[in-house]
Amino acid sequence: MGLLKVNGFIDLDQFWPKGESDADTIKILVQDTFQFQENLQSEFKVTHSFDKAMMKVDDKKVPVMDGKNRITVRLQGVDTPELHCDSTSLSKKALKALNKARKDEFKKLDKKYRQYFAESSVVALYEMLKKSGTSAVPCVVRTFVNEPNDVFDKYARLVGDIEVEIDGKKVNINQWLVENGLAFPAFYASMNGEEIKTLLEASQLGRKNHPKFWRRMTKTMRFNFKLLYRGRGAPLEPKKDVGSLALPKIYRRQRNWAVQKKAKILNDGFKKFLAKNHDHCFLTEEFLVKGRASAIHHLDEFLESGKLNIEPEDLVFRDSPSTLLSYDGTPVSRW
């Protein structure tokens, strides 16, 4: 497995409440070219595989780099509480088929919701990065991959680790968030064993040193319709940013179900709704031994009587397929 890296800068103004970025999705201003190392014995070489490249997202083509020479990095292996969750599983066709009453009710409920600790997590990250003494923090983005198509997810986000230097010490942001009780581990099959083990250790530290965050993790699936995204510029209210916290991956699906359920668009219980998502996963303990040859499970298996019966670090999820395209629309397969 090779290593891809790119140097860049993190603009602190992007983070909430001044901006809208949460703690696990960060825009990076690319400083120079992408570099790829085939193995530990080889040298890094410049790669132009991502020049004007796009990800095929459903029927759309999304550039991996915006007009300001920025990439969006989804921090690998971590999941922070949702700051502005507005995803929905209702297609335009399904929405159009609703009668006026159901459609009006759905639109009334279809808002940006948030979880407790989301605001605190992103502010804590901002405060840590601010110690660098600059508003544009130098960083290195790294990700272990085999092929160019492995680099970006289906949302055109580079999935990897970000390293910065604070007070003369190198800090891996992914690990820092988990160690400081600001994020849950969230493993995917694209990660190698060492990456997973590193975050397992970080998770143990987080549980030990920051029990408040972990104690608030609830396995009972209740959705809070009153907890809404407060928008840019909203003041932080630490005392009010504490409460029950579902795993963000579960919460995103719960949000879709709760909105449709309350709008009387569906009658399914959450377990049945979850089963339709086809979230394939492996047990972490088995995955570390057998890799992708491990037994496949489905996320709904671990929900019984409205309660989740597994810990976040016990599962490894299969990645959604994605396709990297060159500027002319042909798949990118070589470095």
The model's pTM is: 0.95
- The continuous run of DSSP H or E covering 206 comes out as helix 193-209
Say which residue the tokens 């891996």 belong to. Answer: 172
Segments making up each domain of the chain, as ranges: 2-320
DSSP state for residue 26 in the 8-state scheme: E
Q: Give the burial string for 87-96 (b: 16+ CB within 10 Å, else e).
A: eebbeeeeee
**CATH code given to domain 2-320:** 2.40.50.90
Quote the mean pLDDT of the chain: 95
Q: How confident is the model at residue 59 (pLDDT cuts 50, 70, 90)?
A: confident
Burial of 101 from C-beta contacts in 10 A (0-12 / 13-18 / 19+): exposed
pLDDT higher than 80, residue 33: yes
Pairing verdict, β 187-188 and 315-317: parallel
Where is average pLDDT lowest: 140-144, 202-206, 221-225, 313-317? 221-225
Compute the distance between CA of residue 15 and CA of residue 150 in angstroms, rounded to an integer: 27
**For 99-130, how does the pLDDT look when each residue is reduced to its tens digit (9 = 90+)?**
999 999 999 999 999 999 999 999 999 999 99
**For 243-281, how does the pLDDT look when each residue is reduced to its tens digit (9 = 90+)?**
999 999 999 999 999 999 999 999 999 999 999 988 999
Tokens of 276: 């339709």
pLDDT higher than 90, residue 322: no
- The continuous run of DSSP H or E covering 164 comes out as strand 158-166
Q: Give the burial string for 171-203 (b: 16+ CB within 10 Å, else e).
A: bbbbbbbbbbbbbbbbbbbbbeeebbebbbebb
Helix 248-262 and helix 100-109: axis angle, to 10°? 150
Q: How confident is the model at residue 306 (pLDDT cuts 50, 70, 90)?
A: confident
Q: What is the pLDDT of residue 305?
A: 87
Q: What is the pLDDT of residue 181?
A: 96
